């Protein structure tokens, strides 16, 4: 998968629609950087986000921080606990509560990006997402 061609698109092009709001490429990059700065220590990210946009932001935030995305086959509590046991330096990120989950979960919310810093365009900031050469693995775990 090559991301290099995506790097040349203008920051103000629409990327996704979140409800009535259009999120530009620049806002997305800003959201990714904001999420990346708040990720806990640990090399493996278990992304449990239900919201597709927040899943994408978390996925790219992990890549930006050179972390490995773990994709378990389901979200059952036993599966998540076993995954964390197999990858002791892992942590979960989610936008919803999992009351039966007995491990800490780093919360992410659309509201995290509703601040001025979260919604600003990043025209002066030229930091890019990693290309395939700089990407860590994505591990899809068999069920």
Tens digits of per-residue pLDDT, 86-116?
999 999 999 998 888 888 899 998 887 776 5
* DSSP symbols for 83-94: HHHHSTTEEEEE
Query: What's phi and psi for 90, nearest 5 deg?
Result: -100, 165
Spatial separation of the C-alpha atoms in residues 110 and 92, rounded to whole Å: 17
pLDDT for position 138: 63
- Rg of the chain in Å (alpha carbons): 15
Instruction: Name the DSSP class of 75.
Output: -
pLDDT at 128: 53
Q: What is the pTM of this model?
A: 0.79
Q: List Cα–Cα distances, 1 to 12, 16, 44, in angstroms.
A: 23, 20, 21
Contact 61, 14 (CB under 8 A): no
């Amino acid at each position: 998968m090559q991301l290099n061609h995506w790097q040349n698109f203008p920051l103000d092009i629409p990327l996704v629609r979140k409800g009535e709001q259009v999120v530009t490429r620049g806002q997305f990059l800003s959201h990714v950087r904001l999420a990346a700065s708040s990720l806990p220590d640990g090399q493996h990210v278990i992304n449990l986000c239900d919201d597709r946009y927040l899943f994408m932001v978390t996925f790219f935030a992990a890549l930006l921080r050179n972390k490995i995305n773990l994709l378990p086959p389901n979200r059952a509590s036993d599966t998540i606990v076993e995954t964390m046991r197999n990858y002791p330096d892992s942590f979960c990120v989610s936008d919803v509560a999992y009351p039966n989950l007995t491990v800490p979960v780093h919360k992410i919310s659309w509201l995290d990006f509703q601040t001025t810093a979260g919604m600003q365009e990043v025209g002066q900031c030229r930091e890019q997402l990693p290309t395939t050469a700089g990407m860590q693995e994505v591990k899809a775990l068999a069920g």
